[in-house]
Amino acid sequence: MSSTDTTLSHARGVTTPPLIDLTIGQALDATVARHGEREALVVPHQGVRWTWRELARRADAVAAGLLALGLDPGDRIGIWAPNCAEWVLTQLATARAGLVLVNVNPAYRRSELEYALNKVECKALVLAPSLKTSNYLEIVNDLAPELAASPFGQLHARALPHLRWVIRLGEDTTDGMLNFSELPDRATDASRARLAALAPVLACDDAINIQFTSGTTGFPKGATLTHRNILNNGFFVGEAIRLTEADRLCIPVPLYHCFGMVMGNLGCLTHGATMVYPAEAFDPLAVLQTVQAERCTALYGVPTMFIAELDHPRFAEFDLATLRTGIMAGSPCPVEVMKRVQAQMNMREVTIAYGMTETSPVSTQSAVDDPLERRVSTVGRVQPHLEVKLVDYQGQTVPHGATGELCTRGYSVMKGYWNDEAKTREAVDADGWMHTGDLATMDAEGYVNIVGRLKDMVIRGGENVYPREIEEFLYRHPKVQDVQVVGVPDLKYGEELCAWIILRSGERATADEIREFCRGQIAHYKVPRHIRFVDAFPMTITGKVQKYLMRQQSIADLGLVEQKTA
């Protein structure tokens, strides 16, 4: 069968409006020309309230300062900081100067930072002094003890051989580092002239951003993205929620991740909307306070964030009437949570988006006017200018309704993993399809439903079981606040299901009670054999549940033995 067969799970997005053929710097100029005096950025915890014209002026000053240090287009510069005004300034300044911004996970510790900076040969690092329990200054000085005695710009550290400049946020000073606030003062007439000369020669297919994928095994890989990749993805995500210059988007998701810096920052930039950062790191109370105080019309978050907001003890105190839309993404979105967001948070036009770092990130998204059932039970349809298909283990496109691995192709697919051709070829095939590792179904209208990860699928006694299906069912239990299901080894069946359950505040339940809820409602082999009541799940900083850790911990706590396979 050909891929044009209408019974197969293969869909192409529309081709209007056309792709944006600009660099991020050129797009910023266009926004300033249209919306220069409108608010661009509001950061309450920093007292920041800048217009688009002011934001662009400040970004240009930082860009000229970076060039004056001796950085050249194509050089990599890391940023290791929580959500703050300096983050977006660095994002825009590096794009203006043709530098490649390297997003460093705020949760990284010493060995992870060392790996990331050396993998992509960062010449400069912008960092916050600290975040929560992490003292970034101590970690960097531990990695590079030579820093304190090095004149600024002349660092030669044994552990970080490529790093020359370390730029810190905040008002205090640190030996060997430059304060971020001093960068504009470093700019010269020559560096400003060079910045202006770069604008017409930078290309939209130039690499501009490296994001490390949060691999569960092995070392993270650096997904390399271009102006075209992320600028267009931000634009089309914004189009899907009908973003305009009148919207005010609350962005509590981390900026280091595509959700924040692409769907958030670049979605706003391409539409002239206002970016609002409620706190350095996610805080449900700060989100509720900020949405009310700043009259936000849109809100982003992963499911766990929305759950924390909805279940906050003070939730009822806040007026969220200004909210209209937003996006829930980052991990599978429970249907019951989606319904509560629409009903209780006034987000009647909320959408679900699906994607991954390697695809800039969004491949499919629901529309604000999709029927309610479609918006709560699917991840929508293919985005404009993209293709998606579902394939079986032989690479053949599966029929509508059948489960297959989701693959995506088009402008959003990364240039590749930085300096890793072998891993790139494993992920992106010869025809340009990115293999996501996610299992999905597609119906005749093109709506996609994610049913799990290839590696998460549980095979119990020969039956394929998708944890997502069990999770969706257990969300219906009135005492269950959140639930995750993993497979664990079993001598008889090969694998059994283990459900981790967070109960609603004040509730108590037993394992037998949960199993009884399942009996007669779902197939017997889908009823979890093991049930654990917990206070929290192991999570990444982006709010993704780390199921491999849950599996390891379950095996250890239950005294199970991992079965060896041939």
pLDDT the model gives residue 239 = 98
Long-range own/partner contacts, residues 508-512 (CB < 8 A, 24 or more apart): 508/479, 509/479, 509/533
Residue 4, pLDDT above cutoff 70: no
Confidence of residue 5 (pLDDT cuts 50, 70, 90): low
Q: What does DSSP say about strands 76-80 and 124-127: parallel, antiparallel, or unpaired? A: parallel
Answer whether 483's CB lies under 8 Å from 501's CB.
yes
Confidence of residue 563 (pLDDT cuts 50, 70, 90): low
Cα angle vertex 464, ends 463, 470, to 5°?
110
Q: Tell me: the pLDDT tens digits for 309-323?
A: 999 999 999 999 999
Q: For residue 512, what are the CA distances in angstroms to 222, 503, 528?
A: 45, 15, 10
Q: Tell me: the pLDDT tens digits for 184-200?
A: 999 999 999 999 999 99
Which amino acid makes up residue 78?
G
> Which CATH number applies to 41-212?
3.40.50.12780
Mean pLDDT computed over every residue of the chain? 93
The residues with which 539 forms a beta bridge, in sequence order, are 545
Which amino acid makes up residue 515?
R
What span, in angstroms and rounded, lies between the C-alpha atoms of 499 and 532? 6
Residues of the chain with CATH 3.30.300.30: 465-558
Q: Tell me: the pLDDT tens digits for 467-503?
A: 888 998 999 999 999 999 999 998 888 889 999 999 9
Residues of the chain with CATH 3.40.50.12780: 41-212
- How is residue 169 written in tokens? 């946020």
pLDDT the model gives residue 216 = 41
559 CB contacts (<8 Å, ≥6 apart)? Answer: none
Q: Tell me: the pLDDT tens digits for 41-65?
A: 999 999 999 999 999 999 999 999 9
Q: Tell me: the pLDDT tens digits for 210-220?
A: 999 864 445 78
Which amino acid makes up residue 566?
A
The CATH-assigned architecture of domain 465-558 is: 2-Layer Sandwich (3.30)
Please compute the mean of the pLDDT values over residues 129-154 and round it to a whole number: 95
What span, in angstroms and rounded, lies between the C-alpha atoms of 300 and 263? 9
What span, in angstroms and rounded, lies between the C-alpha atoms of 39 and 308? 29
Answer whether 413's CB lies under 8 Å from 434's CB.
yes
Residue 189 parent element (H or E): helix 189-198
Which amino acid makes up residue 442?
M
pLDDT the model gives residue 373 = 85
What span, in angstroms and rounded, lies between the C-alpha atoms of 291 and 278? 8
Tell me, what DSSP letter sits at residue 399?
A: B
Token look-up 């959408």 returns 351
